[in-house]
Every structure is written in C-alpha cells, then in structure tokens.
Structure 1
Amino acid sequence: MTTTIITADLVPEARRLRIAATLFDVRFPLQLEPTIYQFAEFLSGDYRGGYWHFYTLSNGGFYMAPSREKFFAVSAENGYEGELSGNALGVTACLYAYSHLSFREDDFAESCAEHYHRLREFALGHPEAAGILAAID
C-alpha cells in the first residue's frame, strides 16, 4: 500500500482573499472564518486572537493557523488536555469548524465535509498528529 504525503503551502498575502473566495465563496468571511476563531477560543484559553496564516493542501484542502510561534494549552470536551503549536491548534480548530458546519442540508455543508476529510488526511502526517487526533476524537 502506498501512502501519499499531503503537503501544505503557505498562501501569499496577495492571494489570501482569492483563495478563500474560490474555495468557500462569501461563506468564508460570514460563516467559516468566525467559526474557526470561535473554536480556537473554545479549545484554548491561551488564544487571544491575532493574525492567521492560510494554507492550501496538495489534496485540495485548506486550513488556517495562528501565526504566533508559541504553544497553546488546549482542553477539549472529550477530555483531551495538552499543548499544541499554533499550527496544530489551527488544524484542530479548522477540523472542529468543518465538522460543525457539515451538519446541514446544503452545498456548503457538503464542502465542509469534504474539507474535513482532506484536512484530517493531512493531520495524520502532521508532526503533532497524536495531539490533534486526541483533541478531535
């Protein structure tokens, strides 16, 4: 069995709006982005806002993550407690948001479900996969 490695590419500042609009249309600023921020706050009392990087994945996925190079204390409802880097917190918050927004009956819900699976596939190869998976399961 061959395992495909999913890679992440940082989206340049000049392309951020175009990428978000192409992938999610107007629902990015109205629904997805605020939901991701809410889950970051929910997961970590250390998170206090700030600039986020955008990443596209080689499998067609997308995530965003706080730009700060610090670790965040994370506490999830499933009992997980630990520390995640800003990048791993972003992956985790995006997975929560995609899952949450996928439980509707529209095209956006379907898109969120697809992005959840693409991002989870990436998370399996992330250096902090154990923490990410423990926080979402």
Structure 2
Amino acid sequence: MDFPEELKYSKEHIWVRVEGNRGVIGITDYAQQELGTITVIELPSVGDELEQDDSFGSVEARKTVADLYAPLSGSVAEVNGELRDAPEIVNDDPYDSGWLVVVDIADHEELNLLMSAELYEDYVAESR
C-alpha cells in the first residue's frame, strides 16, 4: 500500500494534495483496495460548494456503494471528467490520474485537522 508523504489524509480515506490555494482530492490506495473494482463515480459539478466532512459524491464498486466526504471546504474548480467513462482509473492510479476534484480552499486551517502520511498509515494499520 502506498502513503505518499506530501499528501494529507482524512479518516474517511480521502487524500488532499495542496497546490497553492487549491486542493486536489482523491481516495487513498487503501480505500480503492477495500472497495474493489470501481464501476461508477458520482462527483459534484464545477462551482459546487463543499463543506468539510459533508458528502460530495459516491463511489460504487461491484458489491458496495461508499459516500465520499470532503476533507476540506471550498468551491469545486475542476472535476476529473475521465472518470465518467473509466472509473477504474482510480483503482489503477489513485494518487495521480485517479484524482476526483480540485477545490479552491476556503479555509487553510482545516488542513491542520487532517493526518500526515505517517499518522494515516498508523490509522489504517489499527483499523485492520
């Protein structure tokens, strides 16, 4: 399992890569492995407002559906449109081409509530 050091992580298995005033958001390698083959991803639209810890979409795998919870608040600036036709990209490359949305970060202080890679790795180990 991969835990890139430069990312922040939520307890809901969502990662954030901060790029200036924007946050790129996706699901973790652990989450995609637990879900299995992803068949459908529902995401918000550009311009939608996300509130930290609120549901902003869902991921459907062969046997389950999981809600996606925003790791931080902000306005959706970009949506990964490739996932509509090829949601399995998240299984193949969750940290790069499998990103979900980019948000304009509303409150950088919310990032302090997220885990480092080391803390997230410990969190995953405890939940097994």
Do both share a fold (TM > 0.5)? no
Judging by fraction of residues, say which structure has more strand. Answer: 2
- TM-score (norm: length of structure 1): 0.25
Tell me which protein shows more helix as a share of its residues.
Answer: 1
Q: Indicate the structure whose relative CO is greater, using CA pairs within 8 Å and at least 6 residues apart.
A: 2
Higher Cα Rg, which structure: 1
